[in-house]
Every structure is written in structure tokens, then in C-alpha cells.
Structure 1
């Protein structure tokens, strides 16, 4: 079977079944899994599907959250404010918190109780500045190279600093989240930092505003089944939320004011 024929077969299978399992296809065609995986990688680079562990799924739309920080501040403002309040309610006094960068994270820290005593570790200058008025919160800034697109520290120094932290709770921002494709973002180095933050915490909560749901970004952070919880906006499709719950992910639905 020629390469073009194999790829057409894979796309037809994807349209019919909604997924491609590399091992099953290799057995059906009598070809190696490496050959099928190579075809899937090439199709993914063309934007025709999304690669996942063991095979492929239909291509998903790119996330609006890939825009720069200023543009993202104007997206889903009410939903992000509600998600920030709901996430702040999960914090227990005395905890060490890893707080990721992002516009929703800004709403989170501004919603923390004024008398809260805790420690916040962050690589986001905007998160740190938002906590200046919280005298009971010790703020630890992580160093690194400033990634201007997200206004956040990245690189080797940031990763080394995160490695010295053991947090109770990590509030993670992502560009995209999907039950099958997992968590992803638009920059390779930023994905590495987010992955390190997730691994440095006992429990991770993803702040999932509406524009991030059921979308895909280029660089994977973790599987959806590897996080503890998500906070979503009121009105999020219950069918989608059921898929997260089936993975063992706790779902917190933020209520509007």
C-alpha cells in the first residue's frame, strides 16, 4: 500500500470511527506500528488530525487562549472572574500555593480573603503584584527569562527553582484542555514550566475558562487524567463534564454573582 493510500485509509477510518488506534491499524494492514505512527505524525503536521498516545483523534480548533496576554484579558471576562472566585474558595489557610500565570490566575489571587495567611510561589510578575495588598501572604518570585507573550518567567532558572518547591496546591493555567488530548499550551518552554509546576504540587487544579475547552494547542503538558480538579464556568456542557468525572477529575462549577 502506497503512502497516499495509507493516509487516505487512516482519514476514512477517523471519519468512520472517530479515532485511530495505531496498533489495530498495523495489525489490520500487516504493517509496523512505526509506519502508522509516522503517517499519523505527518497528517497531524498538516492539521488533519491530532496525535494522542496510541493513535489519533479528529483535529480540534486552535484555542483563542493562544493570543497574547493583552488580548486574552478581554476574553470571557465574567467567566474568568467567577472561576477565580471559585478557585480561591478551595484555598486553606497555611497552604503553600503554586500559582501559574494567566488572566484567570489574576482573578484568583484578587479573590483570596484579605486576611488569608499562606505562601504563594509564582513565576508571574502580574500575580505577584496583585498580592501586594495581602500582608498575610508571603510571595516567592521564581526567576528566569521573561516570556513577553505571557508575561511570565521561563527557562532553566525557572525550572530549577520550581524543583526546590513542594506545594500543597497548584493552580494551573493552560491554553487548551480536552478529556482525550489532555492539557496543552502554545510554547515549548512554557509547557515545560507548567509541567514542572504540576509535578511539584500534591494537588493540581486547572482553571478552565470556556474558550479553552475542547481545543488543542501544540505542546502537551499532561493528560487530563493526571490532574486533580478543574474549575469551569456555569453553563458548561454536562456531557463534557461527565467525561472528566469518568477520568477521576473533580469538577468545580463556578457560579455567577
Structure 2
């Protein structure tokens, strides 16, 4: 039995490289751990982009990162929310700086979870006046430092790895809200499909957020572009704005512009 999480993760990656897929039930038997543990392992690996989760297991990601190129892979994989804060941090900071430019006093703003949106929360001016609604614990905690911001936290079941609330109560609250703008953390975005993700319960909340806002803003580092996950959050026609760390005139962003999405 592989007791250490890092050993299990390496085993899973080796299996996917050899067979292009793994099944959660088989991994549970072979590694002698619960299927809940396997599901957590697969989620953590997918957060990096090393694999793509599917129903019942995972498959090889076409954009797989070769962990063998890193002598200390356990330090490289962002297992926890805190670890993901420093992963691609410079890109997230550039995105957050652009996102702040969209804020207008007295707006009602929805902010989804994710470490890029946390960087946005950190950069909101202290004299900003508005209403901000979020389902992310770290973001809500950061925003209470703002004297002129009315902060509302959407209560529900907390996902430990993402530190966001999900479930029926969150979705019902969102149905009663009409926001000016929604900042969505983005795992994958494609010109044809739109914003997609791997966790069904998170997707349901993201979808509800997008439906409750006049404008939907995708905050996505460039490695998330032209990638796909199993579950659709927001169709491409409903994504108002895309913010990446790239110059908006980059050729890679042209398909989004041609599709009618504003690019910052």
C-alpha cells in the first residue's frame, strides 16, 4: 500500500501514461484506500492539469505536464488551496490588475472561488464602494477589510480543496440576485464550448452565478485557453469578457475576439 499522497499521485500518473486512463474503483483496490481518497487524489492532480477527470476515473490530459522534469514533484503539484496561491502567481497578479479596472462604484459584484479571484480581491481599492457577493471563504475574509464594501457570503456545503460553498442553498440564493458583473474562476475555456470544469457541484454554482449577472468575466491564465473539461459552466456566447495575462493583441486571443468576446 502506498501511504504517502505523493506516492499515490505518482502511481496514478504512471498508470495513466501507460493506459491513457484509470478507474477510481480499480485504483481503490490496488492502492488499498477508499474511493473518497482516490477522488481527492484525482481532483488534486487535475487542479494542476496533469490529468482530466471523467465520470468514474480520469484520462490523459492532452496538455499533460511532465512531472519527471521536476526533481521534487511533490513541491511542484499544488495540492492545497494555499499551494495554488503561489502557482503561476505572476500571471494571476497581471490578470487581477486588469480585472480591477472593470470595477465601478455602487455595482453589485459576484466573485467566484479560485486563487486568481483572490488576487483580484486583494487589489480592490480600500475606498471602493459597492456590494460584493461570494461563495469563497478566503475571498470573503479578505473583503471584510474594506470599510465601504457590503460583503455577502453564500452559505452552503464547503468543498475543502476549493474552499467554496456549493449546493441547493447557494443556487437558490443566486436566483434572487441580479448582479452587474460576475468574475468566474476558470479551469478551461474554449471558443466553441465556453467555460468548462470537472466538478459537477461546482459547475452548478458557476452556472447559477453567470445567470445572475449582466456581464460574465472569465479570469483565465493562458494555459487554460483552448482546453475542455466534461461539464459546461457558461456557453461561449454568454462570456462577456476574457482576461488573461497576455497582451490583448496576441494572435492566440484573436479567435475569442472574432467570437464577440471582449478581451483584456
Question: After TM superposition, is the score higher than 0.5?
Answer: yes
Query: 2:125 is paired with a residue of what secondary structure?
Result: coil
Query: 1:234 is paired with a residue of what secondary structure?
Result: coil
Provide the rounded CA distance (Å) in 2 between the counterparts of 1:105 and 1:190: 15
Question: Hey, what does 1:132 align to over in structure 2?
Answer: 144
2:119 is matched with which residue: 107, 120, 138? 107
Question: Hey, what does 2:109 align to over in structure 1?
Answer: 97
2:204 is matched with which residue: 185, 192, 195? 192
Provide the rounded CA distance (Å) in 2 between the counterparts of 1:123 and 1:65: 25
Question: Hey, what does 2:224 align to over in structure 1?
Answer: 212
Question: Hey, what does 1:148 align to over in structure 2?
Answer: 160
Aligned length in residues: 199
Question: Hey, what does 2:51 align to over in structure 1?
Answer: none
Q: Report 1 or 2 for greater relative contact order, CA contacts < 8 Å, sequence distance ≥ 6.
A: 1
Show structure 2 runs of 5+ residues with no match: 1-56, 66-75
Question: Hey, what does 1:85 align to over in structure 2?
Answer: 97
Query: 1:115 is paired with a residue of what secondary structure?
Result: coil
| Residues 133-179 of structure 1: CA deviation (Å, up to 9, x unaligned) | 11000000101100112110000011011111100010111211111
The answer on whether the counterparts of 2:248 and 2:263 sit within 8 Å (CA) in structure 1 is no
**Post-superposition offset of 1:224:** 1.9
Structure label with greater radius of gyration: 1
| Residues 184-226 of structure 1: CA deviation (Å, up to 9, x unaligned) | 1120010010000001000111101133222222221122222
2:178 is matched with which residue: 166, 169, 175? 166
1:61 is matched with which residue: 48, 52, 63? 63
Show structure 1 runs of 5+ residues with no match: 1-44, 49-58, 253-257
Question: Hey, what does 1:224 align to over in structure 2?
Answer: 236
The answer on whether the counterparts of 1:172 and 1:205 sit within 8 Å (CA) in structure 2 is yes
Q: Indicate yes or no: 2:108 matched with 1:117.
A: no
Question: Hey, what does 1:23 align to over in structure 2?
Answer: none
**Post-superposition offset of 1:235:** 5.0
> Please, what TM-score do these two structures have when normalized by structure 1?
0.71
Over the aligned positions, Cα root-mean-square deviation in angstroms equals 2.6
Structure 1 residue ranges (4+ consecutive) displaced by more than 4 angstroms after TM superposition: 45-48, 62-68
> Please, what TM-score do these two structures have when normalized by structure 2?
0.69
Provide the rounded CA distance (Å) in 2 between the counterparts of 1:69 and 1:46: 21
Indicate how the Cα distance of structure 1 residues 114 and 46 shifts in structure 2: closer, same or farther if over 3 A, else same: closer
Question: Hey, what does 1:238 align to over in structure 2?
Answer: 250
